[in-house]
């Protein structure tokens, strides 16, 4: 019987085959969709741990969706297929836009919880701040609200920041219709848990005919800055360049 380093050849073949099969299986399980130029994908295709979306220099993964309401009618409950995720790019940076039909009239409360992670694919630049805004309306005693928590080491672990933005009949709070969180320590990966909430009558007041709230779009973008080491290298390069120019 032939052997190498004490292991029979047939066992080496078995071990190698097992590792190869596992590698092929992992490759087939991981699915990455590249969204560019405002491309979009239905959220039902992302509502699991094996699907990811690449938008610019950021990889969005670990998607999950939960929905509850108080209207007692299961026939109108929203599913993940009612949401569409689109690529977002603006002066802030790359991010995601979620389109959804969330509407509440009267004392009904409707609530969506979304989770996802965002990872920088360019390791020289880390996420330094996040920007949140949404498109919605409210009348009477209606309230539309989006809040979120951002974590450093998984959902619920290492709280980094909390954001919140709401709209009632008087307008947005804060008034500019955007909330921003700046990180004291930039991150290469963050986990986001987002709560999207509407109610026609959140304070249990006697309902009026125009108690209404809706949210149709939720946008989130992320800024990046170079790591301190990259900044120091760039400054050192500039100093060296200026020194050489002066000597000439």
pLDDT given for residue 246 in this prediction: 55
Domain spans, the chain: 1-31, 36-233
For residue 69, pLDDT beyond 70: yes
- pLDDT one-digit tens code per residue, 98-126: 999 999 999 899 999 999 999 999 768 89
Q: Rounded to two decimals, what is the model's pTM?
A: 0.78
- pLDDT one-digit tens code per residue, 4-47: 344 345 444 443 344 444 443 343 345 889 998 779 999 999 97
Of 222 and 205, the one with more pLDDT: 222
pLDDT given for residue 59 in this prediction: 95
DSSP the chain: --EETTEEHHHHHHHHHHHHHHHHHHHHH-EEEEE-TT-EEEGGGTSSSSEEEEETTEEEEEEEEEEEESSS-GGG---GGG-EEEEEE-SS-EEEEEEEEEEEETT-EEEEEEEEEEEESSTTEEEEEEEEEEEEEEETT-EEEEEEEEESSSTTSSEEEEEEEEEETTEEESTTS-EEEEEEEEESEEEEEEEEEEES-TT-PPP-TT-EEEEEEEEEEEEEEE-HHHHHHHHHHHHHHHHHHHH-
């Amino acid at each position: 019987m032939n052997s190498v380093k004490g292991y029979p050849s047939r066992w080496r073949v078995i071990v190698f085959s097992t590792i190869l099969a596992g590698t092929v299986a992992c490759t087939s399980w991981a699915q990455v969709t590249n969204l560019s130029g405002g491309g979009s994908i239905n959220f039902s295709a992302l509502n699991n741990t094996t699907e990811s979306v690449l938008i610019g220099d950021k990889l969005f993964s670990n998607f999950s969706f939960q929905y509850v309401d108080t209207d007692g009618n299961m026939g109108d409950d929203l599913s993940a297929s009612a949401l569409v995720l689109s690529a977002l790019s603006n002066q802030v940076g790359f991010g995601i836009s979620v389109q959804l039909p969330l509407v509440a009239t009267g004392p009904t409360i409707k609530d969506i919880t979304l989770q996802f992670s965002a990872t920088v694919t360019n390791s020289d630049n880390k996420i330094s701040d996040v920007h949140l805004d949404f498109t919605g309306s409210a009348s009477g005693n209606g309230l539309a609200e989006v809040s979120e928590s951002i974590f450093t080491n998984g959902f619920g672990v290492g709280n980094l920041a909390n954001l919140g933005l709401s709209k009632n009949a008087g307008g947005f709070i804060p008034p500019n219709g955007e909330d921003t969180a700046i990180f004291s320590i930039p991150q290469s990966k963050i986990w986001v848990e987002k709560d999207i909430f509407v109610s026609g009558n959140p304070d249990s007041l006697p309902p009026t005919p125009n108690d209404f709230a809706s949210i149709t779009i939720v946008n989130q973008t992320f800024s990046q800055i170079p790591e301190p080491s990259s900044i120091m290298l760039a400054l050192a390069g500039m100093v060296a360049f200026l020194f050489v120019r002066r000597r000439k």
